[in-house]
């Protein structure tokens, strides 16, 4: 008998094949979204024929955190003065706001040097192209910037935008209205036919307007408000389901848009139409970074102090990044009548108020808020840590890689047919005062105006609401004429609270296998932009939970900055620590290198999104994304 020798190469190939099969066995894909052999996303309908929409066109410029400008030119720098600094900061902002807008869309930035700035009123960032930089958001006033609200009046401390929170995109450019002529525009569609496409050009900002009628409300079961006609009247006050989008192409009578409709338009129920939005009052290209916002208060339930820290009101292409908001009555960060907003790497902590309605909405989107991204954020001691208090004018909201702890109620959309929400890698952990952690559900006749169905075509993807408690619950219910989805999440899934409704789509609950893609938002974003390596480590490695008793302990706070970002070859890491360990992860969450060097040579890496995780000697970690380009 002849014996066949086995080469080392064959043994290696066999080992690699077995390892590949093992890795594949540890992963799973949803029945509704698959990644094909070429790495592209493939969508499949559920049993009702609905497909999960593209949620990626959110945040600044529709590209989330990727397009936020870096290092806008600082044209003015000020220090705090004794007493009220409201006018001191306002005058400096206005001096920049009166300058011409440069080709990059910005006028310039104001830099607030370290220290505490007492604010007795409201700071208005109501000029386009103006950015406000601080020196850091920590407690040390020697090297950080604090805006400190003084006084007993409930107000907003920093307001970004034109300020008309009740506009909701009703302003039309005269003569630009045209009916949609398709009998059906399914959820997720980015194209439709119109009666007169000659009224529009590529790049136009349009509103898709789907008016409420008796037939439409009946198909929606009157919004889930228990069918009482007097309650459903509150839906008529909203007038219509609206989608704020841009035209990307025109072919014959067909209009193509950058973002989808998040609810099916059925012309047999109501005639939908579009019009060009009158943008004359919008404030665009405004941002705020590296600032701490705090305020005076008296006692744990006092409400005689500022209500909101940072509010975006009639703003577009705006952002807040690396900001901390504390001790507010209602909201740390809130959007109203605003579009394409990114709130990234921010914290809203420890509101001071009664624990009841219309309070402790740490991260909030209100009416007329669309295409909003909240990424890498952290909430503590909220009632509703992340909440849409908008209505049918609110759509396209992504909560990516955000965390919540010590909350008193459920994170949710709150009322009136909010559509198109993605909870992606949301983590609810720590001691909680309410078992129901995440709600994609019907609130029935709860609330002063019957909240009804609050989430429509919402997805919870790869979320974990068990945290430190095995009792964490996700409420998943199916709206009439629509769907909600829970895919690859950890937590008990129920459908009988606060009112019974049919169960929504559930798949892969509490499995130990890895969902692929781990982040739906990043996968959709990179598919649309043609980027590779688009699924970085999606677990928030350290939510930076600032314990009040540790606020003076410098070693309990740890932060890094990576620059340039995006980069093409070399990445510099700056840190407050003398000795740090740096780990670099690729798009599959795999460790590429671990080093103590503060400069990384990236010439051997392909373009894409990467994560750096840095760890100091006491084990505190922070993760930072960077984009590698060529």
pLDDT digits (tens, 9 = 90+) for 146-166: 999 999 999 999 999 999 887
The CA distance from 447 to 498, in Å, is 12
Q: What angle do CA 510, 513, 515 make, to 5 degrees?
A: 90
Lowest mean pLDDT among 19-23, 148-152, 405-409, 599-603: 19-23
pLDDT in tens, 349-396: 999 999 999 999 999 999 999 999 999 999 999 999 999 998 899 999
Neighbours of 189 (CB within 10 A): 18
CATH number of this structure's domain 548-628: 2.60.40.3080
Q: What angle do CA 199, 337, 479 make, to 5 degrees?
A: 90
**Percentage with pLDDT > 90 across the chain:** 68
3-state secondary structure at position 554? helix
pLDDT score of 123:
98
| Extended strands (E) in 253-330 | 254-257, 265-266, 273-276, 283-289, 292-295, 308-313, 315-321, 324-326
pLDDT in tens, 421-461: 999 999 998 788 888 899 999 998 887 777 889 999 999 99
The CA distance from 384 to 404, in Å, is 10
Residue range 576-605: average pLDDT? 65
User: Average per-residue pLDDT in the chain?
Assistant: 86
More confident residue, 416 or 74: 74
Same topology between domain 44-163+281-398 and domain 548-628: no
pLDDT score of 13:
38
Tokens of 596: 């103590």
Residue range 599-620: average pLDDT? 65
H, E, C per residue of 20-33: HHHHHHCEECCCCE
The CA distance from 391 to 417, in Å, is 6
The CA distance from 242 to 168, in Å, is 9
Confidence category of residue 194, pLDDT binned at 50, 70, 90 = very high
**Percentage with pLDDT > 70 across the chain:** 80
Half-sphere exposure for 25 (CA within 13 Å, toward CB): 6
pLDDT score of 435:
85
More confident residue, 549 or 510: 510
**pTM for the whole thing?**
0.84
Which homologous superfamily is 44-163+281-398 in? Single-stranded right-handed beta-helix, Pectin lyase-like (2.160.20.10)
Neighbours of 29 (CB within 10 A): 16
Q: State yes or no: pLDDT of 324 exceeds 70.
A: yes
Q: State yes or no: pLDDT of 3 exceeds 50.
A: no
Partners of 403 in beta bridges:
378, 427
| DSSP string of 150-189, one letter each residue | -SS---EEEEES---TT-TT--B-TT--EEB--SEE-TT-
Q: State yes or no: pLDDT of 8 exceeds 80.
A: no
Confidence category of residue 325, pLDDT binned at 50, 70, 90 = very high
pLDDT score of 544:
38
Residue range 2-25: average pLDDT? 40
What φ, ψ does residue 247 adopt, rounded to 5°? -85, 125
Residue range 616-622: average pLDDT? 51
More confident residue, 158 or 581: 158
Q: Where are the domains of the chain?
A: 44-163+281-398, 178-276, 410-515, 548-628
3-state secondary structure at position 560? strand
């Amino acid at each position: 008998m002849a014996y066949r020798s086995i080469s080392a190469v064959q043994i290696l190939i066999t080992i690699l094949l077995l390892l590949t099969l093992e890795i594949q066995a540890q992963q799973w894909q949803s029945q509704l979204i698959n990644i094909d052999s070429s790495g592209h996303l493939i969508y499949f309908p559920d049993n009702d024929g609905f497909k999960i929409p593209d949620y990626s066109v959110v945040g600044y410029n529709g590209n989330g955190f990727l397009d936020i400008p870096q290092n806008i030119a600082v044209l003015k720098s000020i220090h705090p003065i004794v007493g009220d600094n409201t006018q001191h900061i306002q005058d400096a902002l206005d001096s920049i706001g009166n300058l011409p807008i440069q080709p990059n869309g910005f006028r310039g930035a104001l830099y607030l040097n370290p220290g505490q700035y007492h604010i007795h009123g409201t700071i208005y960032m109501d000029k386009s192209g103006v950015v406000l930089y601080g020196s850091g958001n920590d407690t040390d006033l020697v090297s950080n910037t604090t805006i400190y609200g003084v006084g007993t009046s409930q107000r907003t401390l920093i307001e970004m935008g034109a300020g008309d929170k009740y506009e909701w995109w009703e302003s039309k450019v005269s003569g630009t209205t045209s009916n949609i002529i398709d009998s059906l525009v399914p959820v997720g569609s980015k194209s439709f036919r119109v009666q007169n496409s000659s009224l529009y050009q590529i790049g136009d900002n349009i509103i898709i307007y789907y008016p409420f009628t008796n037939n439409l409300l009946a198909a929606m079961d009157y919004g889930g408000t228990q069918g009482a006609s007097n309650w459903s009247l509150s839906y008529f006050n909203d007038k219509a389901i609206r989608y704020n989008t841009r035209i990307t192409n025109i072919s014959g009578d067909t209009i193509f848009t950058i973002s989808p409709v998040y609810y099916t338009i059925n012309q047999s129920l109501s005639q939908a139409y579009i019009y060009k939005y009158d943008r004359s009052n919008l404030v665009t290209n405004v941002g705020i970074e590296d600032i701490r916002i705090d305020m005076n208060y008296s006692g744990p339930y006092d409400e005689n102090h500022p209500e909101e820290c940072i509010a975006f009101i009639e703003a577009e292409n705006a952002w807040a990044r690396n900001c901390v908001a504390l001790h507010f009555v209602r909201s740390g960060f809130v959007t109203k009548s605003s579009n394409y907003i990114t709130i990234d790497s921010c914290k809203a902590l420890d509101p001071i108020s009664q624990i009841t309605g219309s309070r402790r909405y740490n991260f909030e989107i209100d009416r007329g808020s669309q295409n909003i991204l909240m990424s890498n954020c952290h909430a503590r001691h909220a009632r509703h840590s992340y909440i849409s208090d908008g209505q049918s004018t609110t759509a396209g909201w992504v909560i990516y890689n955000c965390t919540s702890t010590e909350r008193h109620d459920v994170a949710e959309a709150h009322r009136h047919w909010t559509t198109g929400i993605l909870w992606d890698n949301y983590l609810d952990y720590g001691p909680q005062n309410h078992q129901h952690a995440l709600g994609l559900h019907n609130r029935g006749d709860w609330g002063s105006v019957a909240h009804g169905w609050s989430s429509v075509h919402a997805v919870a993807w790869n979320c974990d609401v068990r945290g430190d408690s095995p009792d964490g619950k996700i409420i998943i219910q199916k709206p009439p004429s629509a769907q909600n989805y829970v895919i690859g999440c950890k937590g008990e899934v129920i459908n009988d609270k606060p009112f019974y409704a049919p169960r929504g789509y559930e798949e892969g609950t509490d499995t130990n296998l890895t969902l692929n893609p781990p982040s739906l938002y990043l996968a959709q974003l990179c598919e649309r932009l043609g980027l590779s390596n688009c699924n970085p480590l999606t677990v928030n490695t350290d939510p930076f939970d600032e314990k009040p008793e540790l606020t003076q302990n410098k070693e309990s706070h740890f932060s890094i900055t990576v620059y340039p970002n995006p980069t093409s070859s070399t990445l510099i890491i700056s840190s407050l620590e003398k000795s740090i360990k740096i780990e670099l992860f690729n798009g599959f969450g795999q460790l590429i290198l671990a080093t103590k060097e503060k400069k990384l040579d990236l010439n051997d890496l392909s373009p894409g999104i990467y994560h750096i995780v840095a760890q100091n000697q006491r084990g505190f970690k922070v993760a930072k994304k960077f984009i590698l380009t060529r």
